[in-house]
């Protein structure tokens, strides 16, 4: 099945249907999946969204709202609905999805929504709202299937069937004691294949992976990826079972974290929404550009220091931009690899050393290879072997500097508690620009 993209014809079709009666609009909407309707919502006004949500069956409407991106303000859409319709939709949502949406609203609006819900649903959502959204507690769904460790097979199966009536799907059964303390996990296969006289105590797997509610979402994602899990239990400090984080939640986290890292490396604040307006974009990017301008003046001051060399050898000016640009590209490659390694796991001292050493060797070899190219270009185009030697040394040196800074600076920033994805690119650009101008000018001054 191909992924759906917003097409003008689809948008026009929805807009035309919106001009007709509800029956006509309902027929058109039936041809679209909930995730496709959520994408179409990006192009529709609020009134149209509310009308569509009111027309859709509750289960479909809840799925549409859960598929909406945060910047589309699904919470604002919910608050604008009739309380009865709104409550029906929220009760269809998983608790973690409902909590994510409600948390976007201010406290008064949250209370307005929660007061209209069933008491059990409201209490479950209130419990999840206590956790930061980027922690295991903020990700988890408190809807779980758990059985007491003292039950026999028949009673355990009866309990699993009873609890599963309210759940769409589940992957793992959690085993607890009388105080709700997590004792282990149980697979459906193991209990189905067990002897009729078997007890949960004999079937439980006590060697399992779990996370505390306060654990950062990136660490949760790393654990699920490392151990190839479909779900992971969340517990408090006393090992009391609170909920579970599933692999579909982690996929959203990985997409979010990757987007943040890309924006940070590019010098764009994570606060800037991908679909935000121009004012937010200017506010987010301008400070970094001003800092970059200051570092550009620093690089320019290097050229001014060698004015006499530039006047005597004008050809060097053209090659400087090439060397500086190559250094910037090489540093970005080293930076991207290093930041990615840091995001996946904390590097030991030995691993950090090996990372820097690797990028030094890569920079030296790539620098020498590209240095040979510019050497022969200078030989052919400028008929100057000495200029070629200057360019060879400058290119090699700058790519070595690019590799070293691209690997070492994010590691140093990480050690001192600064996000390496945010600050590294500005610092590294300064190094490679300054070295890209300084090296060819210095070697030219000494050798030509």
**Residue 265, domain member (yes or no):** no
Residues 382-390 have a mean pLDDT of: 88
Residue 390 pLDDT > 90: yes
Helix (H, G, I), strand (E, B) or coil at 230: coil
Which of 246, 261, 290 is where one domain is finished? 246
pLDDT of residue 5: 64
The structural domain count of the chain equals 3
pLDDT of residue 296: 78
pLDDT of residue 37: 93
**Residue 46, domain member (yes or no):** yes
Q: Which of 341, 395, 342 is closest to 366 using CA atoms?
A: 395
pLDDT band at 123 (very low <50, low <70, confident <90, very high): very high
Dihedral sign from CA coordinates of 59, 64, 67, 71: negative
Residue 293 pLDDT > 60: yes
Q: Using CA atoms of 51, 57, 58, 60 in order, give the dihedral in degrees to the nearest 10.
A: -90
124 with 154, same domain?
Answer: no
The secondary element (H helix, E strand) that includes residue 381 is: none
259 vs 295, residue with greater confidence: 295
Of 6-10, 39-43, 267-271, where does mean pLDDT reach its minimum?
Answer: 267-271
pLDDT band at 159 (very low <50, low <70, confident <90, very high): very high
45 vs 261, residue with greater confidence: 45
Which of 96, 130, 164 is where one domain is finished? 130
pLDDT of residue 1: 41
Q: CATH number of the domain that 193 lies in?
A: 3.10.580.10
Going from the C-alpha of 174 to that of each of 163, 195, 295, the distances in angstroms are 12, 20, 56
Could you list the residue range(s) of the whole structural domain that residue 197 is in? 146-246
pLDDT of residue 287: 76
pLDDT of residue 177: 96
**Residue 252, domain member (yes or no):** no
Q: CATH number of the domain that 66 lies in?
A: 1.25.60.10
339: CB partners within 8 A, 6+ apart: 261, 265, 410, 420, 421, 424
pLDDT of residue 341: 80
166 with 115, same domain?
Answer: no
150 with 119, same domain?
Answer: no
**Residue 48, domain member (yes or no):** yes
Residues 28-46 have a mean pLDDT of: 91
Residues 22-36 have a mean pLDDT of: 91
339 with 198, same domain?
Answer: no
286 with 400, same domain?
Answer: yes
Q: 417-427: per-residue pLDDT in tens?
A: 777 766 677 78
Residue with tokens 């650009």: 429
The phi-psi region of residue 288 (left if phi > 0; otherwise alpha if psi is between -120 and 50; otherwise beta) is alpha
Q: 43-75: per-residue pLDDT in tens?
A: 899 999 999 999 999 999 999 999 888 778 898
390 with 319, same domain?
Answer: yes
126 with 152, same domain?
Answer: no
pLDDT of residue 54: 94
Q: 92-103: per-residue pLDDT in tens?
A: 998 888 998 999
Q: 295-319: per-residue pLDDT in tens?
A: 778 878 888 888 888 888 888 888 8
73 with 198, same domain?
Answer: no
Residue 221 pLDDT > 50: yes
**Residue 173, domain member (yes or no):** yes
Q: Locate 49 and state its tokens.
A: 């969204």
pLDDT band at 201 (very low <50, low <70, confident <90, very high): very high
429 with 344, same domain?
Answer: yes
d(CA 402, CA 125): 49
Q: Where are the beta strands (DSSP E) in 117-159?
A: 146-148
**Residue 357, domain member (yes or no):** yes
Residues 254-268 have a mean pLDDT of: 61
Residue 345 pLDDT > 70: no
Residue 29 pLDDT > 90: yes
Residue 188 pLDDT > 80: yes
Burial of 86 (0-12, 13-18, 19+ CB in 10 A): buried
CB neighbourhood size of 441 (10 A): 23
Q: Percent of the chain having pLDDT more than 70?
A: 90
371 with 396, same domain?
Answer: yes
**Residue 136, domain member (yes or no):** no
Residue with tokens 């779900």: 231
Residues 204-226 have a mean pLDDT of: 91
pLDDT band at 289 (very low <50, low <70, confident <90, very high): confident
**Residue 2, domain member (yes or no):** no
Q: CATH number of the domain that 285 lies in?
A: 1.10.357.20
Sheet holding 211-212, edge to edge: 211-212, 231-235, 241-246
Residue 268 pLDDT > 60: no
240 with 355, same domain?
Answer: no
15 vs 2, residue with greater confidence: 15
How does the average pLDDT of the chain come out, rounded?
86
Which of 81, 103, 130 is where one domain is finished? 130
179 with 55, same domain?
Answer: no
């Amino acid at each position: 099945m191909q992924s759906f993209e917003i097409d003008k014809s689809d948008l026009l079709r929805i807009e035309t249907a919106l001009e007709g009666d509800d029956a006509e609009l309902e027929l058109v909407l039936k041809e679209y999946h909930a995730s496709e309707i959520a994408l179409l919502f990006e192009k529709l006004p609020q009134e149209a969204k509310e009308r569509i949500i009111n027309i859709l069956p509750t289960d479909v409407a809840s799925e549409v709202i859960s598929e909406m991106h945060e910047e589309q303000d699904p919470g604002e859409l919910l608050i604008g609905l009739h309380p009865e319709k709104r409550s029906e939709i929220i009760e269809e949502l998983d608790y973690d999805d409902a909590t994510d949406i409600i948390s976007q609203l201010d406290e008064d609006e949250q209370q307005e929504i929660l007061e209209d819900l069933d008491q059990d649903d409201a209490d479950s959502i209130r419990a999840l709202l206590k956790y930061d959204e980027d922690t295991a507690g903020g990700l988890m769904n408190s809807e779980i299937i758990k059985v007491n460790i003292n039950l026999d097979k028949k009673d355990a199966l009866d309990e699993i069937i009873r609890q599963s009536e309210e759940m769409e799907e589940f992957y793992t059964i959690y085993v607890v004691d009388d105080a709700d303390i997590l004792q282990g996990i149980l697979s459906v296969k193991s209990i189905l294949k067990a002897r009729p006289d078997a007890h949960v105590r004999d079937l439980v797997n006590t060697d399992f992976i779990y996370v505390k509610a306060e654990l950062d979402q990136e660490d949760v994602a790393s654990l699920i990826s490392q151990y190839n899990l479909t779900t992971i239990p969340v517990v408090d400090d006393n090992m009391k079972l609170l909920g579970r984080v599933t692999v579909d939640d982690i996929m959203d986290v990985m997409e979010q974290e990757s987007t943040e890292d890309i924006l940070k490396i590019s010098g764009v604040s994570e606060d800037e929404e991908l679909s935000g307006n121009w004012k937010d974009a200017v506010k987010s990017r301008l400070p970094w550009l001003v800092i970059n301008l200051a570092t550009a003046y620093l690089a320019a001051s290097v050229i001014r220091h060698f004015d006499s060399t530039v006047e005597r050898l004008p050809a060097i000016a053209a090659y400087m931009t090439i060397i500086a640009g190559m250094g910037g590209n090489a540093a970005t490659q080293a930076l991207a690899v290093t930041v990615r390694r840091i995001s996946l796991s904390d590097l030991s001292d030995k691993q950090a050393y090996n990372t820097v050493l690797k990028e030094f060797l890569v920079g030296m070899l790539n620098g020498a290879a590209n240095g040979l190219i510019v050497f022969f270009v200078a030989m052919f185009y400028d008929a100057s072997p000495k200029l070629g030697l200057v360019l060879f040394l400058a290119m090699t040196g700058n790519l070595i500097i690019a590799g070293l800074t691209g690997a070492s600076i994010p590691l140093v920033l990480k050690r001192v508690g600064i996000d390496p994805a945010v600050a590294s690119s500005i610092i590294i650009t300064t190094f490679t620009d300054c070295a890209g101008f300084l090296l060819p000018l210095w070697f030219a001054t000494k050798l030509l």
